[in-house]
Amino acid sequence: MNNRLIEIDNVIINKEIIETKFTCDLNKCKGACCTMESKYGAPLLEEEIEIIGKNLEIIKEFLPPEHIEAIDREGFWFQEHGEFMTRSLNDRACVFVVHENDIALCGIERAYKAGKIDFVKPVSCHLFPIRISNFGGPVLRYEKYEECLPALTKGKETSTTIIEFCREALARVFGSDWLAKFKKVTE
């Protein structure tokens, strides 16, 4: 394995996510990760489709009417090239986006924080800016976007790395034992 990658329990991690300082700055980026121009929304795991579907009526309580209409008309997800994704409204915003004070937030997460559902949001969103690729097993990498430049500045101010910023999401995906091993290996 090259010196830019480490492996923990068959999960390969690009060291860039260990070394890069990153803390979201919603006041500057305005939740750009949820509103990037694209016909694709957020990547979904197949099992997340069922979970979101089961909670959809509650989640809709947190969404703007235009998004509810789009979901009712077209559904909230689609599959392309074997990948599941949320729908994008007007090739711009995930159908689950809700704006508050000019900041794009997740309607699913808002329902979760209100105690209405027990699903925080799709793993791909929770892990962002970490993306998981599959090359015979999971590979964690840092997905860079110009819109996230303020997060790099704030990360330096808070001295928080991507891996620390995404700690809760990583524990959700790989478990707290894996996270403890990761911490031990990287100290």
The pLDDT confidence band at residue 2, using thresholds 50, 70 and 90, is low
pLDDT given at position 84: 95
For residue 58, give Cα distances in angstroms to 26, 51, 167.
25, 12, 27
DSSP state letter for 53: H
Rounded distance between C-alpha atoms, residue 98 and residue 110, angstroms: 9
The ranges assigned to domains in the chain are 1-22+129-187, 30-123
pLDDT exceeds 80 at position 187: no
Mean pLDDT across 160-164: 93
pLDDT exceeds 70 at position 1: no
Containing H/E element for 30?
none
DSSP state letter for 120: -
pLDDT tens track for 46-76 = 999 999 999 999 999 999 999 999 999 999 9
Rounded distance between C-alpha atoms, residue 129 and residue 150, angstroms: 13
